[in-house]
Amino acid sequence: MQSEQPGNQEASLPSQTDAELFLALRNGQAAALGVIYDRHAGLVYGLALQTLGNPQEAEDLTQDIFLTLARGSSYDPRRGSLRTFLAILTRSRSIDRIRSRSSKQKLADRCNPDLQQEVSSNTPLDHATQYEQSQEVQEALAQLSDSQQQILKMAYYDGLSQSEIATQLNIPLGTVKARARRGLLKLRQTLTSFTR
Amino acid sequence: MSMPSDQLELLIAGYVLGDLTPEEAAEFEQLLAKYPAIAEDVAQMQTSLERAYAPPDVPPPPHLRSAILNQVHLAEPLLDTSSTNSLPSPPAVFTARQQRFPWRRVFDLAAASIILALGFYNYRLQQALQTAQPSQPDAILTYSLQPIQAGSEASARVVVDPNTLEATLMVENLPPLPPNQVYVMWTVLEPNAPFTTDDKDAILTEVFRVDEQGNFTETLPVPVVYRVEGVVTNVAVTIEDAAAPQLHVGAPVVIAQPL
């Protein structure tokens, strides 16, 4: 547990939980970011690389994500895991970058219509769904209802907030939340049963 | 707590998805405090989510870590937070932090309570420890740092646990520095090691000040290089500019090799 003594604020980082590290970071202990980075950079970079398809852009985004975390983010450790927060933030910003890239490309296409077809076949969602899932995971997902699969994918994979999902699907927010949780619960139960 | 109730499992799913309401968060805290084993269910749920929707982890380029941390260190120079209010024109980062302060106090209180409840390891760390510790724990590394200057009584000792990548730094008799200077502990690697270092083959490991007696003790995270046998050739402490400690322009004050 962290000391309140000023002399130890920079010092005590035997931290083990993400919540402790995040609090330390909020309190100015920049070194806490190093531990958070060591735990989650592989996830963030992997997601960025998968979505953006470019190592340099993935590197830039990874830096962006961790600096955002250090300099102020909306993460609330009481409401959810840091890892999911980072994953959704990475997805969301990756897709923003692809959209920005596409917008610039479309602008260029007005001068060069020959490239238009190439851009239109590479939308963010098309890119994001290129991830290959194992047979086991596919079978587990098949146990979920279509709605549960869709909502989980929109939430975690496409980086959409639950209110955005509710709006897009035209269903109540509470329904989105309940289906997401039930879906994840079922997913966990099925995947766990595979490993037994 | 191998088979939590349906309601509890839905709360765990909500936590992993990051959508607990404040009321649910409070309930979840209480349950965590009562049943610490829930942490295992959280880890399983998180793993399930990522197996379905996230690619395998990909290690970023090694230089990225230091690039990010250097930016954060540059933005947050060692500065007594109690003195920030008196700064006439603080940098943007401090202005932002002061504006957030009332919120932060509230957040701190809330976060402190969840830290008590969330007495469990990050699931990745937990998994790593569960798999790594029983098999082949790495030996503790001890570095005894001696003064370069003859007649100096300065000394330092660094004890590194490569398994947890945590070290204890104990410093004695280093002269206190003026506010614009700091001590920096460097991890020095063998030349051309496959890790990102500065041009002196060093990784900035910790920035610190000593008390009036010249002493300092701290537990700190260390780079993964300590897990690679033979890569770390030395540990040293230099005096650097507080505004840019990463420049590594100072000569070693104390230096050592592993015992």
Q: How far apart are CA B115 and CA B110, in angstroms?
A: 9
Counting residues of chain A whose pLDDT is more than 70, the rounded percentage is 75
Residue B188 confidence (pLDDT) above 60? yes
Query: Can you name the residues that pair with B189 across neighbouring β-strands?
Result: B232
Q: How far apart are CA B161 and CA A177, in angstroms?
A: 43
Distance, first Cα to last Cα, chain A: 36
Contacts of A157 in chain B (CB under 8 A): 53
Average pLDDT over residues B141-152: 87
Higher-confidence residue of B135 and A57: namely A57
Q: How far apart are CA B83 and CA A188, in angstroms?
A: 50
Q: What are the backbone angles phi and psi of residue A138, rounded to the nearest 5°?
A: -60, -40
Nearest CA in chain B to A182: B10
Q: How far apart are CA B177 and CA B184, in angstroms?
A: 12
How many other CB atoms are there within 10 angstroms of residue B10's CB atom? Answer: 18
Which residue, among A35, A90, A184, A190, would best test binding to B if mutated, counting the most B CBs under 10 Å from its CB? A184
Which of A17, A58, A87 comes nearest B54 by C-beta? A87
Residue A56 confidence (pLDDT) above 90? yes
Contacts of A17 in chain B (CB under 8 A): 115, 118-122
Chain A residues 106-145 with a CB less than 8 Å from chain B: 131, 133-134, 137, 140-141
| Topology (CATH level 3) of domain B141-256 | Immunoglobulin-like (2.60.40)
Domain residue ranges of chain B, discontinuous segments joined by +: 5-131, 141-256
Q: How far apart are CA A186 and CA A192, in angstroms?
A: 10
Could you tell me the pLDDT band of residue B164, with boundaries at 50, 70 and 90?
A: confident
pLDDT recorded at residue B71: 84
Higher-confidence residue of B199 and A66: namely A66
Contacts of A1 in chain B (CB under 8 A): 115
How many other CB atoms are there within 10 angstroms of residue A136's CB atom? Answer: 14
A4-27 pLDDT tens trace: 333 344 445 545 688 888 988 888
Q: How far apart are CA B50 and CA A157, in angstroms?
A: 10
Poorest-pLDDT segment among A23-37, B190-204, B230-244: B190-204
pTM here?
0.55
Alpha helices in A18-172, H assignment, sequence order: 18-26, 31-52, 55-71, 82-109, 116-120, 124-128, 135-142, 146-152, 162-169
Chain B residues 214-233 with a CB less than 8 Å from chain A: 217-221, 224
pLDDT recorded at residue A131: 53
Supply B132's token pair: 């790594």
What does the mean pLDDT of chain A come to? 80
Kindly list the structural domains of chain A, giving each domain's residue range(s) and its CATH number in brackets, ordered by start.
Answer: 6-110 (1.10.1740.10), 124-190 (1.10.10.10)
